[in-house]
């Protein structure tokens, strides 16, 4: 059998990059997307290729439908039948209260974190579902512990967006369970990635880790291991699950 194909959106850095490298080590052929940092994406592809794996990087803004259609068409043509989708692409903006947020911010955050996940999930289902002639597959959505904590005074918009991802995960899992597709979400907590730079606080994990029962932040690799378990046959009876990776927070 040919090696399974995994598509990871936002796969050029952080959790996405760790997932891409871990997937390649497990025998997946990997496609990653990037928004603007082509150098970072190419570096991940090169690392996979140097290890004897196969990988491609595709520029795409997952919040734009035309980009998503082009993305999936490229994977179809260059790699073949998709087995696993990891909806990892997302973003947050600088921390502030809700009463300081403008409409533009809400639209950017919801577009990247919600619309992008919905569009990519739709295209994956159209390819994986036995109803559409597929052979099944797996979708893993990257949510956040913020969806249940609310992120007051910081990122209520991001928390709400991830709440939408949680709801989509549960509903979609029920829609396609009989069609050979499992859908789950991973909800990371305080993880050492550069997403905190976007929020204007690169030291956020160290500042807040005292509130974590394990008294430390997590690594991108720890989250990636959870994603890869959900994508594997080892979790064959798991669907519609929201799995926290938060150190107990």
CATH code where residue 25 lies: 3.40.50.720
Look at residue 240 and tell me if it is in a domain.
Answer: yes
Residue-number span of the structural domain to which 190 is assigned: 5-244
Beta strands in the chain (DSSP E): 5-8, 29-34, 55-59, 84-87, 137-142, 181-188, 242-245
Q: Higher-confidence residue: 60 or 203?
A: 60
Find the catalytic residue in 28, 34, 158, 192.
158
**Could you write out the three-class secondary structure of 64-99?**
CHHHHHHHHHHHHHHCCCCCEEEECCCCCCCCCCHH
Look at residue 43 and tell me if it is in a domain.
Answer: yes
| Domain count along the chain | 1
- Mean pLDDT rounded to a whole number for the chain: 95
Percentage of the chain lying above the pLDDT 90 cut: 92
CA dist., res. 3 & res. 34, Å (int): 23
Q: Does the structure show a pLDDT above 70 at 238?
A: yes
Look at residue 224 and tell me if it is in a domain.
Answer: yes
CA dist., res. 218 & res. 232, Å (int): 22
For 61-106, write each residue's pLDDT tens digit. 999 999 999 999 999 999 999 999 999 999 999 999 999 999 999 9
In this prediction the pTM is 0.95
Q: Give the lowest-confidence range in 5-9, 31-35, 93-97.
A: 93-97
| Model confidence band, residue 194 (pLDDT cutoffs 50, 70, 90) | confident
232 Cα distance to chain centroid:
16
Q: Does the structure show a pLDDT above 90 at 241?
A: yes
Check residue 1 and give its pLDDT: 53
Q: Does the structure show a pLDDT above 70 at 107?
A: yes
∠98-104-110 over CA atoms, to 5°? 75
Check residue 166 and give its pLDDT: 98
Check residue 151 and give its pLDDT: 94
13 Cα distance to chain centroid:
11
Look at residue 249 and tell me if it is in a domain.
Answer: no
Check residue 207 and give its pLDDT: 87
Q: Does the structure show a pLDDT above 90 at 198?
A: no
Q: Does the structure show a pLDDT above 70 at 229?
A: yes
CA dist., res. 113 & res. 94, Å (int): 15
Look at residue 13 and tell me if it is in a domain.
Answer: yes
Look at residue 234 and tell me if it is in a domain.
Answer: yes
For 136-153, write each residue's pLDDT tens digit. 999 999 999 999 999 999
Q: Which strand (E) or helix (H) includes residue 168?
A: helix 156-176
Active site residue 237: no
Strands 29-34 and 137-142: unpaired
């Amino acid at each position: 059998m040919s090696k399974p194909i995994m598509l990871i959106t936002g796969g050029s850095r952080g959790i996405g990059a760790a997932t891409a490298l871990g997937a390649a080590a497990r025998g997946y052929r990997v496609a990653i997307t990037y928004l603007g940092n082509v150098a970072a994406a190419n570096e991940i592809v090169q690392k996979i290729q140097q290890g004897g794996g196969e990988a491609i990087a595709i520029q795409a803004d997952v919040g734009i439908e035309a980009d998503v259609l082009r993305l999936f068409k490229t994977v179809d043509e260059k790699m073949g039948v998709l087995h696993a989708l990891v909806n990892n692409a997302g973003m947050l903006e600088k921390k502030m209260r809700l009463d300081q947020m403008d409409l533009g911010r809400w639209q950017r955050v919801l577009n990247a974190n919600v619309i992008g996940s919905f569009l990519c999930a739709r295209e994956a289902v159209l390819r994986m579902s036995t109803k559409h002639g597929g052979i099944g597959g797996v979708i893993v959505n990257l949510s956040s512990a913020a969806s249940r904590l609310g992120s007051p005074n910081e990122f209520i918009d991001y928390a709400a967006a991830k709440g939408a991802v949680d709801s989509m995960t549960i509903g979609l899992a029920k829609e396609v369970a009989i069609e050979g597709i499992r859908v789950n979400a991973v909800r990371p907590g305080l993880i050492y990635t550069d997403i905190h730079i976007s929020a204007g606080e690169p030291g956020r994990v160290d500042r807040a880790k005292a509130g974590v029962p394990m008294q430390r932040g997590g690594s991108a690799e720890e989250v990636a291991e959870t994603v890869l378990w959900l994508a594997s046959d080892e979790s064959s009876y798991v669907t519609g699950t929201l799995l926290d990776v938060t150190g107990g927070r």
